[in-house]
Amino acid sequence: MSKTLAFEEPIVKLREKINELEEYTAVNDVDLSSEIVNLKNRLVKLETEIYESMEPWDRVQVARHPERPTTMDYITRLFENFIEFHGDRNFGDDEAIIGGIASFEEMPITIIGHQRGKDTKENVKRNFGMPHPEGYRKALRLMKQAEKFHRPIICFIDTKGAYPGKAAEERGQSEAIARNLVEMAGLKVPVISIVIGEGGSGGALALGVANHIHMLENSTYSVISPEGAASILWKDSSLAKQAAEAMKITAPDLKEMNIIDEIIPEVLGGAHRDANKQSLEIRSTLRRSLKTLGELTSDELIDNRYNKFRSIGVFSE
Amino acid sequence: MSIKQLFKKKSKVDQHTMPSAKSKADVPEGIMTKCPECKHVILTKDLLKNGKVCPSCQHHYKMTAQERIDHLFDEGSFESLDDHLKTENPLDFPSYTEKVEADAQATGLNEAVLTGVGNIQGSQVAVAVMDAHFRMGSMGSVVGEKITRAVEKATELGIPMLIFSASGGARMQEGVISLMQMAKVSVALERHANKGLLYISIMTYPTTGGVSASFASVGDINLAEPKALIGFAGRRVIEQTVREKLPEDFQTAEFLLNHGQLDAVVHRNDMPEEMNKILKLHARKGAVLV
């Protein structure tokens, strides 16, 4: 049984009640089947109700669910012949970002993504999916490699942010992110970025200067975490729930602001309920995106990316 | 008077005199300035003459965008761009509009950056000067748009681009839109670079967060003023994550120079000549390379 999130509690309670009744009928000689059917119908209704009216903070919880599928989970389900490539050829190999080549429905592609861990041990190894500069430089190296061999690039965004540490600063965290933004702008191949969990600030954007940006329904993309926003704006990090609403960080919010292209629907209750089914949804979006972008020339791809980011901003003249 | 009385602390209220409104107006405010670093006191007009650099300890005071232009550009050569752009409140943040308007009043700018085209000792450049007196120099839609347009102007005219950064990073009140300004300026800079044009980034106090992690760090030449604070994450955030004491000079211009992130640290009063030299060495003879 996966971790229960606060907003899911009514569902869990009802499910427990049904289980209780079922156990009771099994042991005792009482027929409660009609009640059970009733309750099961109510459960379906309740689930639809709750999952279809999720508040921003509920989505943040789903996006952060410890069992939420990671980049690697999608790589194994979406691509064939994946080979992981390591290192930035300069300092080291940052395991908070993975990348490599594979085929997607017969087409060679390059995949790059933030990689979280699912348990403490793996999270330590992956630095909780928070990259150092060498992670971004590895990503850029693989993008340039993809460009050379005319492979489309698919990025999975899933990070709380670039790592705020001493070594990261010494090795130029700012420059590593900044360089990716500029270089991605000029890539001659299609770039598709999909936010699969948390899209945290510059550390996310460094894999996000794409032709198409898609977001899983319950993922978030923001300039700062809700906790960080609350503590800066209201000097109180416990107001994170309100900040999550005010900052407009959910997929529907970003779609409305015209920043992303598609919202990829999630399986009921969130991607962690069924990674296989979730991958099918991602697959169809990816197929569509690759087809559209495949029709553009290198110059058109660069112009398309230029116009996409050029138009973001709200002001009056 | 007894000895005891002699040493008794006199009540402050006894001696306090309140200047009348009239006499207050007689003394112009800020005639003298005290250096926050070495406490050296100097006539404000002498400080301004010295490029707002303390003559005693070389502390570089914050400059307004206009002061920066006056300090560096040939007199009368600078023409500003896009002063008419106006900040909106896309996320309906309470009191955001009022705060922006108050800073606009106080600084005389429409937003936290002044952009335009002008000459430095005869060399024509496009420039964006951020002003940390306006919402900490943070970058929202208008800042992103003004810098982008200035870069596009430089590309169109085939001239170098200079950006003086002074910013705490992204403008929180504009949420993810402010994050995307990092990408917006970057795509414009890529196009400028692609034409073989020069981009000089000059980092001043402070250059942090999203500004540091985008255009400020990717100049063909990265310069900084002495002791300027430059970094990605805030010092306190890092101290909390690494749980160790950070070196005194952490995230200063000198620290970045030592770690290979800067081409040079340049004293403000050497900047005009240094800039002149760089620009002359990049001057184009003949047709513009496309």
pLDDT of residue A289: 98
Burial of B49 (0-12, 13-18, 19+ CB in 10 A): exposed
DSSP state of A100: E
Whether the Cβ atoms of residue B186 and residue A182 lie closer than 8 Å to each other? yes
Evaluate the omega torsion of the peptide bond into residue B206 and state whether it is cis, within 30 degrees of 0. yes
Separation in Å, CA A302 to CA A310, B10, B191: 12, 75, 10
> Hey, is the C-beta of B179 within 8 angstroms of any chain A C-beta?
yes
pLDDT of residue B290: 47
Whether the Cβ atoms of residue A96 and residue A114 lie closer than 8 Å to each other? yes
Whether the Cβ atoms of residue B256 and residue B40 lie closer than 8 Å to each other? no
Q: How many percent of chain B have pLDDT more than 70?
A: 88
Cβ contacts of A163 on chain B, cutoff 8 Å:
241
Cβ contacts of B85 on chain A, cutoff 8 Å:
315-317
Asked whether residue B15 carries a pLDDT value surpassing 70, the answer given is no
How far from the centroid of its chain's Cα atoms is residue B121's Cα? 22
Residues 197-216 of A with CB under 8 A from B: 201-202, 205, 208-209
Cβ contacts of A169 on chain B, cutoff 8 Å:
231-233, 238, 250-251
Residues 219-238 of A with CB under 8 A from B: 221-224, 229, 232-233
Model pTM?
0.91
Phi, psi for residue B226 in degrees, rounded to 5: -50, 140
Phi, psi for residue B43 in degrees, rounded to 5: -65, 130
Integer Cα distance of B232 and A182 in angstroms: 17
Integer Cα distance of A67 and B15 in angstroms: 70
Integer Cα distance of B187 and B151 in angstroms: 10
List the Cα angle A189/A195/A199 in 5-degree steps. 115
Which of B135, B152, B186 to probe the A interface (max A CBs under 10 A)? B186
List, in sequence order, every residue forming a beta bridge with B284; answer none if it has no partner: none
Whether the Cβ atoms of residue B208 and residue B167 lie closer than 8 Å to each other? yes
Residue B2 binned pLDDT confidence (cut-offs 50, 70, 90) = low
Q: Three-state DSSP class for A28?
A: coil
Of A27-31, B111-115, B145-149, B279-283, the poorest mean pLDDT is in A27-31
Q: Is the ipTM of this complex over 0.95?
A: no
Residues 11-50 of B with CB under 8 A from A: none
Integer Cα distance of A51 and A54 in angstroms: 6
Integer Cα distance of B269 and A163 in angstroms: 36
**Minimum CA–CA partner of B215 in chain A:** A178
List the Cα angle A230/B148/B150 in 5-degree steps. 130
Integer Cα distance of A309 and A203 in angstroms: 17
Find all residues with CB under 8 Å of A151, minimum gap 6, and list them.
A101, A108, A109, A110, A189
Beta strand B113-120 with A191-200 is unpaired
Integer Cα distance of A247 and B170 in angstroms: 13
Integer Cα distance of A114 and A131 in angstroms: 8
Phi, psi for residue A214 in degrees, rounded to 5: -120, 155
Along the 317 residues of chain A, how does pLDDT read in single tens digits?
467 888 888 899 999 999 888 888 888 878 888 888 889 999 999 988 888 889 999 999 999 999 999 999 999 999 999 999 999 999 999 999 999 999 999 999 999 999 999 999 999 999 999 999 999 999 999 999 999 999 999 999 999 999 999 999 999 999 999 999 999 999 999 999 999 999 999 999 999 999 999 999 999 999 999 988 888 878 888 899 999 999 999 999 999 999 999 999 999 999 999 999 999 999 999 999 999 999 999 999 999 999 999 999 999 99
Q: Three-state DSSP class for A300?
A: helix
Find all residues with CB under 8 Å of B144, minimum gap 6, and list them.
A313, B178, B180, B181, B182, B184, B185
pLDDT of residue B266: 98
Q: Where are the beta strands (DSSP E) in B225-283?
A: 230-231, 264-265
pLDDT of residue B244: 75
DSSP state of B170: B
Residue B48 binned pLDDT confidence (cut-offs 50, 70, 90) = very high
- Residues across chain A: 317
> Hey, is the C-beta of A171 within 8 angstroms of any chain B C-beta?
yes
List, in sequence order, every residue forming a beta bridge with A264; answer none if it has no partner: A216
Find the CB nearest A179 among B84, B210, B218. B218
Integer Cα distance of A3 and A68 in angstroms: 11
Instruction: Tell me the Cα Rg of chain B.
Output: 22
Give rounded-to-5 percent helix, strand, coil for chain B.
Answer: 40, 20, 40
Torsion of CA B79, B84, B90, B91, to 10 degrees: 70
pLDDT of residue B1: 58
